[in-house]
Amino acid sequence: MRPFTPPDRIRYTAQIPNVREVAIYGTVDRACWQTWLQSLGIQPATTSGAAHVIISATDLAWQGLRFRELIVTVATTTGADPTQADSFYLAYACNSSPILAWAERALFQTPYLHRDVAVDTTAPQMEVRYRSQAVLRAQMGQSRPPAAHARETWAGPVFLPVSRTRQQRGGAYFMVAISGEQAVYPFAPDVDILTLPPAGDHLAFAWLRDSHFTPTEWRIRANATHARSQTYRRGTIE
């Protein structure tokens, strides 16, 4: 695994308050993701032999433009201790705005796609649709009180996919800072719904199925703050 050194000074190019977010946390087989990520010089963080994935849908506004996003990230570590998650790998990202999806790809080198995204924090649910077909759908099937409330603050790097033709130039990443109070609900497989179609529109969904993604909890934020930096380039992959 290649050492990672964050930038000395971080300038967040976008700071967005009043973000509404629905997230599903879950576990996957660590060995699968370790194989997929080894070329990037990072490895999935692990507890009890499992790696951890977050599927997060957000409703937010920036520069007067309201849009929705959905991302799939896996917790990763850049240090020697595999149990210490200090970063994430961005496996999938989509944006409901075609302009912003284009800007993400062209200006920030992030793998955003343009997709229809729906998110609701009151009756928690999320959905991604492409060409009138559901790519992903999740819904809390029964209203219930949260098991816990917690204020969470996290800051660190998010690593981006690298095409095979560019591996020799190294990977890229951006820095994020997220804060806000969240309500935590255990995922109830008998009533809650999470649907990944047999053939999704992106390799990441096949990875989730092949690595046996198992949802464990919902985390809902009605008013979070998100910040992100420019995209930085890492050194040559070793």
pLDDT tens per residue, range 11-22: 899 999 999 999
**Mean pLDDT of all residues in 54-78:** 95
**Mean pLDDT of all residues in 184-210:** 89
| Residues of the chain above pLDDT 90, percent | 65
| Residue 101 reports pLDDT greater than 80 | yes
- Per-residue tokens: 207: 């990875």
Q: Cα-Cα-Cα-Cα dihedral of 221, 23, 45, 12, to 10°? A: -50
Give the length of the chain.
238
- 18-233, which class in CATH? mainly beta
- Residue 234: its pLDDT value, please? 78
pLDDT digits (tens, 9 = 90+) for 46-57: 988 899 999 999
**Dist CA 29 CA 116 (whole Å):** 29
Q: Domain ranges in the chain?
A: 18-233
Sign of the CA dihedral running 18, 22, 27, 33: negative
- Per-residue tokens: 108: 């920030």
- Residue 201: its pLDDT value, please? 74
- Per-residue tokens: 31: 């060995």
Please state, as a whole number, how many other Cβ atoms lie within 10 Å of the Cβ of residue 83.
Answer: 10
Q: Which residue has the higher pLDDT, 167 or 174?
A: 174
Which residues are paired to 25 by β-bridges? 54, 217
- Which letter does DSSP use for residue 101 in this model? H
- What region, left, alpha or beta, does residue 109 occupy, with left being phi > 0 and alpha being psi -120 to 50 degrees? left
| Residue 226 reports pLDDT greater than 90 | yes
pTM of the predicted model, to two decimals?
0.92
Phi, psi (5° rounding) for residue 11?
A: -110, 115
| Residue 25 reports pLDDT greater than 90 | yes
| Residue 171 reports pLDDT greater than 90 | no
**Mean pLDDT of all residues in 223-230:** 96
**Dist CA 114 CA 120 (whole Å):** 19
**Mean pLDDT of all residues in 18-27:** 97
